[in-house]
Structure 1
Amino acid sequence: MKKFDLSVLTVSVLILGLAVIGVSQAKEQSTDAAVAKVGNITITQSQLYDALKKKEGAAETSQLVTAELFKLEAAAQGVTVSDEELDKLINPIKEKLKTPEKFQEYLDAKKMDEKELREKSRLILLRDKMLDKAFPVTEDQIKAYYEKYKEKYEKQTLEQARPEIVEKVKDKNRRSNIEKWLEDLRKKYNVQILDPALVDKKAKE
């Protein structure tokens, strides 16, 4: 299972949008809407959708499904992310880039606006909160990490190093458990990929 990516799901949104539009238009007309023309040749909406589906459809569908799983499970657990928490994550980016123009260039490079950045960030924070809740850091893990990297912390006591170590162990727990956790969520919410062409074969390996 690929790790959920914070980057904007541009292709996913386009695929989803084309699918919805295509279904609604199929009921109203028998011909595809044109998306481009090359001389006398027309490229249709269904041709574009088929090409996108073949190239990126499985991976992007997997990411869309994963995002919905995060939202459903967070709602079930009562886990939320406040605007203040998002500000703490995003404001340092703005400060580092210094000007609104540089921040806009950053967004343009990721092909998203600030609203989309906040939504993607919210999903990541929801995911991490739920993983931390499911796999909490233990005192034994903290002590074992301190002992393992004692040379790094030779000038610090365990209590002085504790905040940094807790974050390191949290990250390790997340990476170690996310695949099994996601698989359990897919079973819990009965995820079904109805189009065989959109099954992520890499995720199943």
Structure 2
Amino acid sequence: MKKFDVSVLTVSVLIFGLAVIGVSQAKGTTTDTVAAKIGNTTITQTQVYDALKVKSGPSVMTQLVAAELYRLEAQAQGVSVTDQDLDKLINPIKEKLGTPEKFQEYLDEKHTTEQEFREKTRLILMRDKLLEKAFPPTEEQIKAYYEKNKDKYEKQTLEQARPDIVDKVKDKNRRANIDKWLEDLHKKYQVQIMDPALVEKEKKE
């Protein structure tokens, strides 16, 4: 079974909060909803949004933009992730945790539901499929990896080790190319950050 780091799927509840608040403001809501009360003092939704934007806005925006770029490029490339693809990764997690209750505890720790978890997993798989299509392992890379790691595969021929090596090379190619690939997608889909505060903070970092 191919190893899969589910930790990369954890998307902070902050993203959901920013998205919801942002949509509310975009619709022109005139009443500033109270988010909390401390005695006679109130903290409004706008105050929460402004504080979150200053602290984490650029990183959250980066994640949201990337997610939409994956969807657009997958549609353009005809790439999809089936429920069966998801089950192959999520079912072993359930089996390892042992019981439905333990899996629910796992989801609660991630501040997510099972459906949200599946959709986040779908997004990551979609990204990986796109990268593998753009940067497939070459025979030269496979042979080079085998030669470099012969100690690890001393009891296996190249053909016997090939499935494991292909996975390793795919992962290496994704890591090596993802930044430039995303940069190209930003240009292809003409990404523009319209919020001046986010643009200014991004320049400073």
Q: TM-score, normalised by structure 1?
A: 0.92
Q: How does 1:18-33 map to 2 (within 5 A)?
A: 18-26=21-29, 29=30, 31-33=31-33
Are 1:37 and 2:37 counterparts?
A: yes
Note the alpha carbon deviations across 1:12-52, whole angstroms, 9 max, x for none.
Answer: 111111122133353xx3x4221111111111111111011
Q: Match for residue 153 of structure 2? A: 153
RMSD: 1.7
Q: Match for residue 136 of structure 1? A: 136
Q: Match for residue 116 of structure 1? A: 116
Are 1:101 and 2:101 counterparts?
A: yes
- Report the CA distance between 1:135 and its aligned residue: 0.5
Aligned residue among 17, 21, 27 for 2:20:
17
Q: Match for residue 201 of structure 1? A: 202
Aligned-residue sequence identity (percent) comes to 66
Tell me, yes or no, if the aligned pair for 1:107 and 1:113 is still in contact at 8 Å: yes
Note the alpha carbon deviations across 1:34-81, whole angstroms, 9 max, x for none.
Answer: 111111111111111101111111101110000000000000011000
Q: How does 1:80-91 map to 2 (within 5 A)?
A: 80-91=80-91
Tell me, yes or no, if the aligned pair for 1:81 and 1:122 is still in contact at 8 Å: yes
- Report the CA distance between 1:106 and its aligned residue: 0.3
DSSP-derived class of the 1:14 partner: helix
Note the alpha carbon deviations across 1:111-136, whole angstroms, 9 max, x for none.
Answer: 00001110010011111111111001
Equivalent-residue separation in structure 2 for 1:11 and 1:87 (angstroms): 27
* Highest RCO, 1 vs 2 (Cα 8 Å, sep ≥ 6): 1
Equivalent-residue separation in structure 2 for 1:15 and 1:171 (angstroms): 31
DSSP-derived class of the 1:36 partner: strand
Q: 5+ residue gaps in structure 2?
A: 1-6
Equivalent-residue separation in structure 2 for 1:142 and 1:70 (angstroms): 27
DSSP-derived class of the 1:193 partner: coil
Tell me, yes or no, if the aligned pair for 1:58 and 1:197 is still in contact at 8 Å: no
Q: Match for residue 174 of structure 1? A: 174
Q: TM-score, normalised by structure 2?
A: 0.92
Note the alpha carbon deviations across 1:128-147, whole angstroms, 9 max, x for none.
Answer: 11111100111111110011
Tell me, yes or no, if the aligned pair for 1:12 and 1:57 is still in contact at 8 Å: no
DSSP-derived class of the 2:42 partner: strand
Equivalent-residue separation in structure 1 for 2:26 and 2:123 (angstroms): 29
Q: 1:131 to 1:147 in 2, by over 3 A?
A: same
Equivalent-residue separation in structure 1 for 2:62 and 2:69 (angstroms): 11
Equivalent-residue separation in structure 1 for 2:183 and 2:26 (angstroms): 30
